[in-house]
Amino acid sequence: MLAEFFRVVWNATGTAQDVLVSRQQAAASNPVEPGVHPPTIIALQQDRVIGYCSSLPVRHWDGESERGGYWAKGLMVLPEFRNGPVGAHVLKSLTRAMPLASSVTVASGSKRLFGALGYTPFGAMGNFLRPLRIGPLLEKLDPSLLALGPLPSWAPKALQLLRDVKLAGISGALGTAGLSCLEAVRGRSRDRVDRIAVPDPAELEALWRRVSTGIAAGPVRDADALLTRYASVDAGAQYHFAFARRAGQPVGLAIVREPGETGDARLQGIRVACFSDFLFDPRDRDAAAATIRAGITMATELKADAVIASASHQAAVAALRRQLFVPLGGTIHFFLRDDAQQGRWPATLDTWWLTRGDGYSDQSF
């Protein structure tokens, strides 16, 4: 029944056996409740699944200690049952099964549901775009299709004018050269960048211990969490890693997801890499600069035309803007519900350390 539902709503090709294997693997790798499959709720009509919502285990850091919980993920209802009570009932039942629940969502309907069920809305983390090759962006991209945030009212008209007079390519070349000049003027961190295939778990642990004292809240980013999320077979994409080092010790980590080979229809043939995750001490400006520069360099080497990032923490936002990422507004909203009320959660989003990779939000590109 689940396999059939997945085929209908996500064009999946898995069989019943694939579903069983996937559930067994999810239970075996659950760091919050080892051996227990993450909470999953389905709505049934006779022998047919009509609604579904599952979760992903996450260990949240509250500035002093870890709390085990789950991301609500994958809320979906069959088309003929949407705009009714099915989605609300499924998410309500799932919430009851998760004492500490969080979610990142874009859909307006989901945002209303989370709010109605007692989740605290923290707002949207910022989206940022860093052009790498401006020519292809000007020639092909329709920014309105990306839904990354509001654009200046003059931008679409200016872009169309450049295309009409065949100046997009020339303007793009000049713009790319201008970015390079700005980078040179602003300078770079003295910290060394070290590209690596798969990070050493001991170095990841050392980095997390070093930076976590400066982070008030967010998902734990220790070795287990990062390697499971980005270096396992289940990651589902090719991720690239780089450490920023000082005196041989890691002070920052950049993780970039390479552009998809098939491409997203919204991108009009543009190759966009995703700066899925990064980690550095928010009090260390040099480490921040080296880490963000490492992500830009990796995206460039992957032949991306642009790289997209999302961030909530004020230090991460500042670091992205210093490295010439263009702010595009926020679309990915963060929600939290803590029934036990044991966490020391900050009240504002700008002190949470969230990135585009959290809750698999980087899968949109």
Lowest-pLDDT range, 184-198, 270-284, 309-323? 184-198
281 located within any domain: yes
Place of tokens 């002070």: 251
Q: Does residue 80 share a domain with residue 12?
A: yes
Q: Does residue 235 share a domain with residue 111?
A: no
What confidence tier does 236 reach under pLDDT thresholds 50, 70, 90?
Answer: low
pLDDT of residue 139: 60
For CA atoms 6, 12, 15, 18, the dihedral sign is negative
**Cα(320)–Cα(163) distance, rounded to whole angstroms?**
29
Taking a C-beta distance cutoff of 8 angstroms, is the pair 286, 185 a contact? no
Domain limits at 142? 126-330
134 located within any domain: yes
Phi/psi of residue 137, nearest 5 degrees: -65, -45
359 located within any domain: no
Taking a C-beta distance cutoff of 8 angstroms, is the pair 331, 124 a contact? yes
State mean pLDDT over 193-197.
87
pLDDT of residue 136: 60
Q: Does residue 308 share a domain with residue 182?
A: yes
Is the confidence at residue 219, as pLDDT, over 90?
yes
Q: Does residue 184 share a domain with residue 92?
A: no
Lowest-pLDDT range, 34-38, 83-87, 120-124, 203-207? 83-87
Q: Whole-structure pTM over 0.75, yes or no?
A: yes
pLDDT of residue 59: 96
* CATH number, residue 301: 3.40.630.30
Q: Does residue 80 share a domain with residue 38?
A: yes
Q: Does residue 62 share a domain with residue 139?
A: no
Beta strands per DSSP E along the chain: 41-45, 48-61, 66-77, 100-105, 120-131, 192-196, 218-219, 239-246, 249-257, 272-280, 306-311, 326-338
Structural domains in the chain (count): 2
Q: What is the DSSP string of 196-218?
A: ESS--HHHHHHHHHHHGGG--BE
357 located within any domain: no
358 located within any domain: no
**Cα(92)–Cα(73) distance, rounded to whole angstroms?**
13
Q: Does residue 136 share a domain with residue 269?
A: yes
Q: Does residue 113 share a domain with residue 133?
A: no
189 three-state secondary structure: coil
State mean pLDDT over 155-169.
49
Give the CA-trace dihedral at 325, 359, 256, 207, to 10 degrees: 100
What confidence tier does 144 reach under pLDDT thresholds 50, 70, 90?
Answer: low
Q: Does residue 75 share a domain with residue 135?
A: no
Token output for 264: 């997203």
Q: Summarize pLDDT for 298-346 with one digit per residue, the tens.
A: 999 999 989 999 999 999 999 999 999 989 888 999 999 998 777 689 9
Lowest-pLDDT range, 136-140, 158-162, 259-263, 329-333? 158-162
State mean pLDDT over 56-82.
94
Is the confidence at residue 263, as pLDDT, over 60?
no
Taking a C-beta distance cutoff of 8 angstroms, is the pair 284, 272 a contact? no
Taking a C-beta distance cutoff of 8 angstroms, is the pair 103, 124 a contact? no
CA nearest to 132, candidates 327, 270, 263: 270
Token output for 89: 């009932």
pLDDT of residue 365: 58
Is the confidence at residue 148, as pLDDT, over 90?
no
Lowest-pLDDT range, 22-26, 163-167, 301-305, 316-320? 163-167
